[in-house]
Amino acid sequence: MQMAPAPDNVFSGDLEPPDFAVVAKRERFFAAMLAEVGERGYADTSVAHVLRRAGMSRKTFYELFENREDCFAQAYDATLLRVRMLVGAAYHQGGQWRTLRERVEAGLRAFLDCCAAEPGLARVCIVEVLAAGPAARERRDAAILDFARFIEFPREEARGDSAPSLVSEAIAGGIFGILYTRVARGETESLPELLDELMDAGLGQLVDDGDA
Amino acid sequence: MGDREENGAHGLMTPAPWTQRPGQQLPAGRHGLSREFVAQSQRERILDALVACVAEQGYPETRVTDLIARSGVSRKTFYEHFADKEEAFLAAYDASVSMLMGGVTHAFESEDDWVDAIRAALTAFLGFLADHPDLTRLCIVDVHAVGPRALARRDAAVRGFYYLLDAGRADAPRALPGLTAEAVTGGMYEIVYGRVLRGTIDELPRLLPELMYWAMMPFLGHEAAVAEMERLRAEESEPSHAGAAPASATAIPPRRSGRRPRAATAVTSDDGIPVPPRRSGRRAARR
């Protein structure tokens, strides 16, 4: 299974190519970690479970990660990055041709579709992350603020600054809370049906830009 | 168990509101105290210890041994009260939530008008959290790391707040989706959660104006909610505080425009010029 290290002479200078062998190993651990946590919950997932599922050695694991918490936090980051890219792409598609409301709605739709497509992953990233220690909690907090930014800019455009910016965080949190309950109950696949109600529950009002 | 004497002197233990004498141990040996009184005191001490341990090291790292050492009860006594640390956690959670709900409900019921009632309830809510940071941490953050029984309780506790908000449906200018109360509550939860993680629980009461905006916006519309917020901000900056306290010391940058806060009821500005409603008083746009 040993992969040869990338030859040194391919790229010269300081620009090192990524070590794809390492990238692949990390991804395998990420996949195993997310699958195990999805099945048994974070509290009951041990490094041994992850090793067995990934078919990798303990030594390799500890070369890449400090501990279980570190591996989970990084797996969470990697997943969130993908989700964020999908949401961002949906949000920006069409650019200025679409109203703010349409953009926010497209972003939200992409997010809900993401969750529905992979209920196990959604459970890990929405429910289990809150049980996975301080590092994971902080990352989730950062993710919420990140999603809040999707709302913040259009909100400023639409409303000037009469609505407090705390509200963006509250909106992201409100959506998160609603998803949390549904996902915990195992209703992840029906999340996209909530789109209209979510837009209507306040998000829509905030991003309506008077000209419609 | 050598530190029995020292327990009350920990200094780290924030007294939970259910204790009259935080962390204090009853005298050993014969005393005229009733069995019930002793049991109650032991239970309170265990809950105090749990709150303190969870605040310091988090729930997963807290062991029954820690609770025993900190509360000064014997192992046997601990297990007479609780089957395991999860049960102790649930007991502390239930006690905290009932106190919080009690205060919030009382504040809500003491006002007739719904907006006043929500404001009172929210003030009580934020005040409780700021006064009891350890309990807040336990109820908001650590509850997620305990297991399904704790999650079910959290779910029920959050639902407990919906009716306060749903009472405002009658005042709403339009039919509101069923999710409204859930969305508003979820947003509040997130704001509190973020402040707990960032260690700024004490700023929560100062967020009242913004959070009132958040709670009122779906029900009353943007303009009325802004009016309420600005009225609260003005009220906040007026009181006798000598220092020039900022109108709202939130983590969020202050509003860029220097627009003067105006009272909700006043239709004229300070110099008597009528203040036009923002954006021609438009309600939620429909399409």
d(CA A207, CA B132): 36
- State pLDDT tens for residues B34-49: 778 888 888 999 999 9
Average pLDDT in the B248-272 region? Answer: 40
Q: What percent of chain A has pLDDT over 70?
A: 79
CB A208 within 8 A of CB A158: yes
A43 assigned to some structural domain: no
Q: Which of B71-75, B194-198, B240-244 has the lowest mean pLDDT?
A: B240-244
Position A29 scores a pLDDT of 94
Model confidence band, residue B280 (pLDDT cutoffs 50, 70, 90): very low
Q: How many domains does chain A have?
A: 1
Highest mean pLDDT out of A10-24, A174-188, B73-87: B73-87
Return mean pLDDT, chain B. 78
**What residues in B contact A197, CB-CB < 8 Å?**
177-179
A100 assigned to some structural domain: yes
Domain ranges of chain B: 5-82, 90-236
Give the residue from A166, A180, A195 with the most B CB atoms within 10 Å of its CB, the best one to mutate: A166
CB A106 within 8 A of CB A90: yes
Position B109 scores a pLDDT of 92
A26 assigned to some structural domain: no
**What residues in A contact B180, CB-CB < 8 Å?**
201-202
Give the residue from A126, A167, A176, A195 with the most B CB atoms within 10 Å of its CB, the best one to mutate: A167
Is B118 in a helix, a strand, or coil? Answer: helix
Residue A85 has pLDDT above 70, yes or no: yes
Partners of residue B274 on adjacent β-strands:
B268
Nearest to B284 among A173, A184, A205 (CB): A205
A142 assigned to some structural domain: yes
Q: Which residues fall within 8 angstroms of residue B89, CB to CB, at 6 or more apart?
A: B50, B54, B59, B138, B142, B146, B150
Model confidence band, residue B20 (pLDDT cutoffs 50, 70, 90): low
Give the CATH number of the domain where residue A167 resides.
Answer: 1.10.357
Average pLDDT in the B154-179 region? Answer: 85
A81 assigned to some structural domain: yes
List A residues 14-73 in contact with B (Cβ-Cβ < 8 A). Answer: 43
CB B70 within 8 A of CB B52: yes
Asked if A166 lies within 8 A of B179 by C-beta distance, the reply is no
Query: Is ipTM over 0.95?
Result: no
A32 assigned to some structural domain: no
Chain B contact for A208 (CB, 8 A cutoff)? yes
Model confidence band, residue B267 (pLDDT cutoffs 50, 70, 90): very low
Position B254 scores a pLDDT of 36
Q: Which CATH number fits domain B90-236: 1.25.40, 3.30.70, 3.80.10, 1.10.357?
A: 1.10.357
Please give the structure tokens belonging to residue B257: 């425009």
Please give the structure tokens belonging to residue B239: 């009181």
Q: Which residues fall within 8 angstroms of residue B48, CB to CB, at 6 or more apart?
A: B13, B15, B16, B19, B22, B23, B71
What is the residue range of A97's domain?
A: 69-207
Asked if A177 lies within 8 A of B259 by C-beta distance, the reply is no
Closest alpha carbon to A195 in A106, A119, A114, A117: A106
Please give the structure tokens belonging to residue B206: 């100062």
Asked if A210 lies within 8 A of B285 by C-beta distance, the reply is yes
Using CA coordinates, name the residue in chain A closest to B155: A181
- Cα separations in angstroms, B153 against A46, B156, B158: 26, 5, 9
Closest alpha carbon to A177 in B150, B186, B189, B140: B186
Average pLDDT in the B185-197 region? Answer: 91
A64 assigned to some structural domain: no
Residue type, B97: V
Closest alpha carbon to A187 in A178, A176, A195: A178
Position B48 scores a pLDDT of 93
d(CA B93, CA B221): 35
Crossing angle for the helix pair A166-184 and B180-197, to the nearest 10 degrees: 110
Main-chain phi, psi angles of B146, to 5 degrees = -100, -35
